[in-house]
Structure formats: structure tokens, C-alpha cells
A and B are shown apart, each in its own frame.
Chain A
Amino acid sequence: MRWLVLAEMACAGAAVALVWMVLLARWLKGRPVGRSWLAGLVLVPRRYLVDVHHVVARRPRNARMHALAAGGLLGGSLALLLGVLPGMPPVPGFIIRIVAIVFFVPGAWGALIDRARRRPHTPSQLSGGAFVWLPVALLAWCVGNVVVALSVSDTGLHAAGLAGLALALAGGVALLVAVGRGPMRHGLAGIAWLTGHTRPGRFARAGLLRPFDTALWPLDLVHERLGVLTPRDFTRPELASFDACIQCGRCEEACPAFAAGQRLNPKALIQGLSGAMRERPAPYAGSPAPHAPAMPGGGGMDAEIVGQVLAPDTLWACTTCRACVEECPMLIEHVDAVIALRRGQTLMKGAVPAGAEQVLRASREQAEPGGRALDARTDGIAALDVPVLAPGEETDILLWLGEGAYDLRYGRSLRALVTLMRKAGLRFATLGADEVDCGDVARRLGDEATFQALARDAIGVLGTRRFGRIVTADPHAFHVLKNEYPALGGTWVVEHHTTLLDELVRDGRLVLAQRDGPAVAYHDPCYLGRYNGVIDAPRRLLDAACRTRVEVERHGMRSMCCGGGGGSPASDVDAVTRIPDLRMEQVRQSGASIVAVACPGCTAMLEGVTGERPEVKDVAELVLEAVVP
């Protein structure tokens, strides 16, 4: 009996190792990333227990289930193996086997909790298929091994023991299938992915619980293949990350494009990419991308992904809001995958939606995505007579106006900001007609070549002026200037206007008198909140300016996108509803009559909501109303 159990455990271990080898061999077909995997491997336990847990624990029941099932399975199996090792003295062997039972029983409980999640029906965000029988296999393995552990003796075979062994074996085989092709793959792939995670800066470090690593990395434009066309073009860790997806559907719940009925479901996207690596992918039993045409799927490492596993619209629906990334317990980088695929489509094939093509052409030829004259950018603030900084001149604050400056509605917000800066006695200037577009839209649409050309221009212009810091009211420009230009050789102190105003209020250079008025809710711009963690400054300002502030259910780091990011309005893919309508409904639910915004994109999208709705006002406008003259 002892030998049989030993053989069972050894076979299971060997099979898992073999499966891992097969998976590793597939991931290694991707592009190398030139980072030490050994150094990464050392970090894996910490990344699992701190960073992954941080996300999983937002849903305590899932964390509990995970701890019980995974802990029980691994601990029990290991203890049982130890307990039956030849040469193990009887008494410690017995104790260790009892320990194994102590592990297996909670493991079985975890399996039951997992089963209960899909009772009576599988919720729409969760997957069915293999996930439905996985808990049964887990239960069989745990219960079978408990029987085995109880009935192991040095001699002879018991009928009960054999039955337990058979049960455990059946469960074990099923689990192995799940490891190779099913849900359990996330365990092995997760280790590989956390070892080589493409954004090491995301992980908690000493003294920094939530570091931000959200900048897209520059593409070397002389590379033979730009962006991703086939699975082979992804990096090795990225390939592992697709296999690490556990299909929990949290991304799907958070995705604004999915909610609006556009052809994107981040979970189906990642599963599609995982399937793309294989000639015959495992069937997917979760929600598909809404209204997406049926795709053949699979194809293997050298087949084109778009057209084979993804509908083109799926790529262009993404607003790059990172809500999915924020929710992903496996820390998968969905947005990076989307951008990599868009880069392939844009740079190698020129296959972009008509609206996006127009925007990219204008960015390329006019240095302005809307095709407007650069010298018209300051028209909205012309009456305020803001000085223009000429080459060689110096000022304290450089006001980067951004694309919103062309918009009539947003001009009001900018004028409020300029008036406040004047009141605080700041010395500031704009670049006037020398300000080109920062390249945000071009980059999100995958046109890295145009982005880099614009960035070179912008960095050149900024390099010839002297200033203390850059302030902008556009979170997209803020993110690009602050986080993405350094890689191209432009490093400055960059602040969002809410940070500046917060500082002025704190220093007493602006005095606010709280105003009575209708309830105000703050809508976090993705590129300010989730991308850069600026969520407190605008709230402090609103608290100082308005008596009643409420929170929308989704706010802060988990806020919902307005639908304006990532070039999504330009691509304009088919939808059932509009994202800003959904967001405005959430604001209405919160009971607010005013929605405070801090981004020209959000302003435009939310102002575009028709019918009766809360009023849209920039934080700067609300602060100006409350400022004591």
C-alpha cells in the first residue's frame, strides 16, 4: 500500500512537471525579455502572497476558497508523500499522515465552496465547462487521499484503502487534465508569469504599497516586426500571462466597453490569446465579446491573431482605462496586449478603423489629432492674455494646454484654471503655437512612429525653454509627459492642475469658502487615478469648495471610464449603449446633481449625454466659484 501511494504521488509530481515543461516550451517560443528569470523566481512567493493576495482579498470568500483549496491540495499531497516515504519511522510517519488529513479536509471544503459559486447557476462573469467539474475532481483527490492516509499500513492491502486510492487517482487524472488544458493551468502559468512579469515596477516595495508602472514602453522602430501579429511576437512572460488567466471574470465586470455592448470582453480576449498559441485550443465556456462574429480560434504560434481569434473591432473598442488590469488577480496586463496588437495592425498592416485613420493622419501631418491649426489652441484663453514662452525664456510654471483647449466647453475650465493661477499670483506661460500634440492618441491607437515623432518635437520645444514645472489640466498629457517622455529623453516635473490647486489651497495662497449647493460627485479620470494614483487631491479640493460631496459607487482606483480614452471615440466601434450614458447613470444613482471632472475627455464625453442629467463641471470651475476674493 505504502508503495502504491508513493507511486501515486510520484506519478502526479512527474506528470505536473512534464505538463509544465510542455507549457514552458510553448512560452519560450515568444520573444525573450532579457531579464534574469532566477531573480524573478525568488520574488514569486512575495508577489503571490502580497500583490496577488491584495487583489484576491477584495472578495474574501474567493480568498478563503483559494487558501483552503490550494493550501489543502498542495500541503496535503506533500505531507502524504512525506508520510509514506520509505525509511520514515512509524510514529512520525503516522503524525505526518494525520497532518496530511488536516490539510485535505479543508481542501475538500475549499472544493465545496468553489462548487457553491456556480450553484444553482453559473454567474455570467464566471466560466462553465471544465470549471464545473473541477471541484469534483478536487474533492475526489482530497477525500480519496484522506481514506488512503487513514488506511496506509506497512503491510497488506485494504479494500477501503484501494477504493480511496482509486478515487484519488480518478480525481488526480482529472486535475492533471485541468492543469494541462483547463482551469488549473493558472497555477503553473502564474508562477512563470509572476517570475517574468513585464511590469516589475507594479509590485509592492518597501514603503510603497501601490507603486505605479503604467507607461507604455517605447518600440524600437527598426525592429523587423513591429507590434504583435502572431502569438510568437508576444514576449515569453506575456504568453505565460495569457495561460495564467483563471477566467474569474472580474475584468469583464469592470470593462466599460463590455458594459456598453461593444465587441470586447477582456476575459474572452485573454482566453482567445491563450487559445491562439494552440492548434486546437481548449473550449471556452465564458461570456463571449458581445455581438462579435464567430472566430475560428486557435491557429498556432505563427497564425495571425486578428481575424483568426479576434474580431478587429475587439481591439479598437478598448478605452485603455486599465480597469481590467486593476481587477485582475493574476496581474495580467490586458492593455499592454491590446496596444501590442494595435501596434501590429497599425504599423505593419495599416488596418485601423476609418475614424482612427483620420486622427492618425492629422497627428502625422498637422501635429494635432483634430487637424486644427496649432496657433488656434490659445484662442479659448486669448482674452486672459497668458504670456507665450519663447525659446530661451524662463518662467515658473509652463501651462500645457492639450487638445481640450480647442473645445469651446473646455475653454471655460481652462479659463477658470488660469484665473485661479492669476489669483494665487503665479508666474506662468504657455507654449503658444509651438505646443504640438503630446501624441497620446496616436500612441494608444498603436501608431508608435507618429507618437515618437510628436514626442521628439515636443521634447525639442520644451528643451529650449526654462521652467520650474509643467502643469496641465489634461490627465492624458500629464501621463504622457510625466511617465512616457522620460524613456525618450524628456524628464520634467509634471503636475495635474488639481495637484497644483490643492497645493495652493493648502499653502493658503487660495482661500476657499465652502459653498452650499447640490451634492457633487467626483468622476476620476482613468489617466489621473488608475494610471497615476492622483485621487486625493481633487477630493480635498472639492471638500474645501462644496459642502456636500458624495461618491459614485465606482470611484477612485476602481472608477469607471467615460469612454473617451485610448482613441476609442475616434475608432467609434458599434455599441448597444454609450459608455458615458452608463457612467452618467451611475452618477445619478449616487444622488449627485453635479459631476465634477478633471479631464477634457471626460468633460466632452459626459457633456455629450443627452436628456436630463447632472451638470458637468471641472474641479477648477467649482474651486473658482468657492474662492474668496
Chain B
Amino acid sequence: MTGRIRRDPRAERSRCLVPGGERPRLARDGNVAGMVVSRRPREATVRRIETPAFWVAAVVEAVDGGLDRWGRQLVGAARMLAGTDGGVVLIGLGDVAGNAAGEAGADRVLTVGGTDDPEAVPGVLMDLLGPFAPRHVLFAESRVGGDFARRVAARSGWPIQPGVEALNVRQGIRPCRGGRYERVAAVARVVTLPCDRVAPYAGEAREGRMLEAGPPPASPSARPVGGVVLGPVARAPAGAVPLSEAPFVVSAGQGVTDFETFHALARALGATEGASRVVCDAGLMPRAAQVGASGTVLDARCYLAFGIAGAPQHLQGLGKVEHVVAVNTDLHAAIIARAGLSIVADAQAVMPALLALLREEGA
């Protein structure tokens, strides 16, 4: 085995096609291969950098003790901006394991516990970042990341480039003026990135050395904080979540006739109820439950469809759903082509079976 990375033309070509299809991917910037997460096994070697010429920081929310897709993209963007001479420091909000961070492209890792006071954030982050004097600080343009980035930028006076949709070493491009224009500018000190805009790092693993944060310096300029007190987070009970925000939706179509069982199953699954247009038209489910172009467009993680064929208008309502599960008698129904798991069976039979299974477990 040599250190040189061998090219695999077959894999490269398959990466240029849509998954499982013959059709080439749409790739307007021509950078096809770089956009795809490489699944090749990592080399055992680890790249270390002791004294980088400069630092680039990525502030990342830890999800379940690791990095999610967005987090890896942020570190990847930082790695790209750091180039060969720079170093990447990952500031983890919550615990991030060093090797995971290193695989994602981080040279150093610092973690801070979750903070209850957003007012204190800029002080805490700037104390952490201070020793590195980072050339760029990257945040996710998420609810938390976007808020923290703006707090830091407002406190520090650093220029900020929020919501960058295309990023390279020379420039960042972000929409402005109502999204009708885009502004092309040199990469600013603070940058926030929406999800799926920059590829995660696919190169040789970096060191990901865990650092201990030094004692917070008693900065005399620190503002008195304590203007905000956060309370507990309340997960919405499944029934009370608006359909458009619900994480898990179970939906009934024409193939469902026993709505008692359907309601009971939705309760047992802890899912929010949805329905197809035909069912709502027939008055079997309230109009507010209608999923589709003329009803609600979902933002769920999972959509479980009972007896729904999947008319185009209905599938439009699933735009953002990550996982579709279908139970339908028709093998050729459109929804089966969209589903990650399809069960070709009578929904009326599957529903009580699943309900019994769940009840058995719960007992």
C-alpha cells in the first residue's frame, strides 16, 4: 500500500450520476466529485500541524456527543479556508470527541458547556477565541449559531457575512437586497453558513487535539449580564404540534377506513396525524390535517403513510421530509418510489398489527 491516493474512475463516474439512476447529477459549478461525501476508508495516518500560520475557528453545536452533517460541513469550510498553512480550531458547544473532530478536519478542539444565558455568549466565545486571533470564525446559520454569530459580531465589531451560499478562499457569496441580488466579497471575519452549502472535509484526518480552556480572564470591560433567564424546554406533545412543524407525521389516505385504530396508533407512535385530500374532503379528518400542495407542507423527519397512493399534489407536501414510510396495496403507487421503506399490504390489516405490537411492548 502506497501513500498515494489511487483514482477510481468507476466510482468517480457513479458519483456523477443521481443515486441509483442513470441520469447525471445537476452540478452547475462543475465541482461534482467534491460535493459528494467520500465513503472511502480513512488512511490510518493523521496530519498534525504544530504552529499554523493563522487560525480559522468553527463554532459548532454538538449533537448527541458528535458532529452532525451541518457541523462537519462547517469544519470542512474552516479547513478549506485554512488551506495548508492554517489551523482549524473547533469550538464545540457541548461535548465533541477529538477523533470525530479530527476526521472532520479540526486540528484543535475546545468545548464549552451549554450556556443558559445568551447574553454571556459573546464574552465566553471571545475569551476562548482570543488566544487564537482567528482569521475567520464560522458559525451555522441556524437558530443558535446565527444568534451567537451576530452577538459576537455586534460585540467585537468584526465584519460579518451571514448566510453565505458559496464559499472559497478568495470570496464568499451571499444573497442580499431581498434575495434578488447576491453580494460577492472577500471572506469576512465572521461567516455563517446555511446547511448543505459547503462540502465536509474528505481528506486525510487531522489531529483534533483536545485543549483545555484557560481560566476566563477577568476582563474589566465585561458587561454585567443577567438580562435573560432561560427556562426549561418543553417538547410539544405530539397532538399539539402544528402539522407544519411536527417531527413525525402518520397519515391516512383512502386505504384507511377504521379511524379509531388510526387515532389509537398515532397516539401509540407519538406521531402527529395527517391525511390526504380525499379523506379530508370526505370529512373523515379535519381540513387542518391535509398534507399536500393545497394543505400543509411538512417539515417532518419521518412520514408514515397508510393507504396513500401519492398524488403529485400530495407528494409536494413532503418536500422536506427525510424519511418516508409507505403502507399501500398498490406496488406501483407513486409514494412507493418516494419511500425508504414500503410495505405492499392492506393498511387496514397492518395498522392493528402494529398497534398490538406497540401495546404489547408498553405493557
Contact = CB atoms under 8 A, between A and B. Distances in A.
Contacts of B85: none
B283 A576 contact: yes
A369 B18 CA distance: 34
Nearest to A577: B281
B264 interface: no
B287 A574 contact: yes
B292 to A, nearest CB: 12
A610 interface: yes
B288 to A, nearest CB: 9
B283 A574 contact: yes
Contacts of B281: 575, 577-578
B57 to A, nearest CB: 40
Contact of A572 (B278, B283, B294): B294
B333 to A, nearest CB: 14
Nearest to B281: A578
Interface string B261-290: 000000000000000001001010001000
B11 to A, nearest CB: 37
Contacts of A574: 283, 287
Interface string A565-605: 00001001011111000000000000000000000000000
Nearest to A261: B283
A611 to B, nearest CB: 10
Contacts of B283: 574, 576
Interface in B103-132: none
A409 B18 CA distance: 28
Contacts of B278: 610
Nearest to A610: B278
A256 to B, nearest CB: 15
A618 to B, nearest CB: 21
Contacts, number: 11
Contacts of A572: 287, 294
Interface string A329-359: 0000000000000000000000000010000
A491 B294 CA distance: 36
Interface residues of A, number: 9
A577 B283 CA distance: 9
A300 B294 CA distance: 39
A576 B287 CA distance: 12
Nearest to A569: B294
Interface string A551-575: 0000000000000000001001011
Majority DSSP secondary structure for residues of B touching A:
helix
A610 B283 CA distance: 17
A577 B281 CA distance: 7
A572 B287 CA distance: 9
A578 to B, nearest CB: 6
A357 to B, nearest CB: 14
Interface string A196-218: 00000000000000000000000
Contacts of A578: 281
Nearest to B311: A610
Interface string B24-35: 000000000000
A125 to B, nearest CB: 24
Contacts of B294: 355, 569, 572
A355 B278 CA distance: 18
Contacts of B287: 572, 574
Nearest to B313: A608
A100 B294 CA distance: 65
Nearest to A575: B281
Nearest to B288: A354
A494 B287 CA distance: 39
A353 B180 CA distance: 30
Contacts of A576: 283
A572 to B, nearest CB: 7
A38 B261 CA distance: 69
A575 B287 CA distance: 10
A403 to B, nearest CB: 15
B334 to A, nearest CB: 14
A572 B293 CA distance: 13
A350 to B, nearest CB: 20
A292 B34 CA distance: 60
A574 B283 CA distance: 8
A32 to B, nearest CB: 42
Nearest to A574: B287
Interface in B184-208: none
A28 B284 CA distance: 48
A446 B239 CA distance: 35
B94 to A, nearest CB: 39
Contacts of A355: 294
B308 to A, nearest CB: 13
A314 B278 CA distance: 22
A578 B294 CA distance: 15
A355 B281 CA distance: 15
A355 to B, nearest CB: 8
Interface string B226-250: 0000000000000000000000000
A355 B283 CA distance: 18
B276 to A, nearest CB: 11
A335 to B, nearest CB: 25
A90 B287 CA distance: 76
A248 B283 CA distance: 31
A9 B125 CA distance: 99
A533 B283 CA distance: 37
B275 to A, nearest CB: 14
A26 to B, nearest CB: 39
A590 to B, nearest CB: 24
B250 to A, nearest CB: 23
B230 to A, nearest CB: 32
B330 to A, nearest CB: 14
Interface string B145-189: 000000000000000000000000000000000000000000000
A610 B294 CA distance: 16
B295 to A, nearest CB: 9
Most buried by A among B278, B281, B287, B294: B281
B122 to A, nearest CB: 36
A59 B294 CA distance: 42
A610 to B, nearest CB: 7
Nearest to A355: B294
A572 B290 CA distance: 12
Nearest to A576: B283
A577 B294 CA distance: 17
A578 B281 CA distance: 7
B123 to A, nearest CB: 41
Interface in A78-136: none
A572 B288 CA distance: 11
A194 B283 CA distance: 42
Interface in A596-629: 610
A610 B281 CA distance: 12
Contacts of A569: 294
A366 to B, nearest CB: 12
A396 to B, nearest CB: 36
A441 to B, nearest CB: 15
Nearest to A570: B294
A376 to B, nearest CB: 16
A574 B294 CA distance: 14
11 contacts: A355-B294, A569-B294, A572-B287, A572-B294, A574-B283, A574-B287, A575-B281, A576-B283, A577-B281, A578-B281, A610-B278
Given A572-B294, A574-B283, 9 more contacts: A355-B294, A569-B294, A572-B287, A574-B287, A575-B281, A576-B283, A577-B281, A578-B281, A610-B278
Interface of A: 355, 569, 572, 574-578, 610
Interface of B: 278, 281, 283, 287, 294
Rank and list the top 8 A-B pairs by shortest CB-CB distance, nearest first: A578-B281, A574-B287, A576-B283, A610-B278, A572-B287, A575-B281, A574-B283, A572-B294
